[in-house]
Each structure stands twice: as structure tokens, then as C-alpha cells.
Amino acid sequence: ASLANTLGAINYNYQTGPDGKLYATGGHVRLDTSIPQDEEAAIAKLDDLAKAATASEGLSGADAMIARTANLNKMLLMSKQEGENYDNK
């Protein structure tokens, strides 16, 4: 199960085993990478995206990119919040 919101169903790749039965050998799911306007909700969602993208062994290029982008966006949001807090002191 994914930690983040998904766009559509999980798509599995199957392979026929020596016993003639189908076995799932991989798959993919599209993640909702939109960022909410509310900064707290955005940070929580970016954390979930980073966790979901790095949950499996052997990350794909797409997984690694989603995780990097989520972490970068979170850092940007947090630095913006720190700047606002600094200005308010």
C-alpha cells in the first residue's frame, strides 16, 4: 500500500512460472505530486511522497526523482517558514 495519494490503480507486471501460474514480478503506481496551498499539509504530503517513493528496494529513476523533488520542495517550504519567523521577531 502506498503512503501517498495515488492517481489510479496499481499496475502489476506478471510472468508465467514453471507451474503455469501467473506471478507478479513488479508494477507501478502514479503518485499525486500536487502540492496543497496549506504549508503544513504540503509538508506532510511531501514527507509521504518521499517515503512512498523510497519504500521499495531497487529504486527506479522515477522513484528517485519523486523522492528528491519532494525533499527539495519540503526544504523550500521550511526555509520560507523560517524566513517568515525570522522577519516576525
14-23 tens-digit pLDDT? 999 999 999 9
pLDDT at 85: 56
pLDDT in tens, 32-78: 778 888 888 888 888 888 877 776 666 677 777 778 888 888 888 88
Q: Can you give the pTM of this predicted structure? A: 0.49
State the Cα–Cα distance between residues 9 and 31, nearest whole angstrom.
10
pLDDT at 18: 92
Distances (CA, A) of 3 to 44, 56, 87: 11, 12, 35
pLDDT at 2: 46
Q: Where are the beta strands (DSSP E) in 7-50?
A: 11-16, 22-28
Q: Which three cell numbers mark 12?
A: 502489476
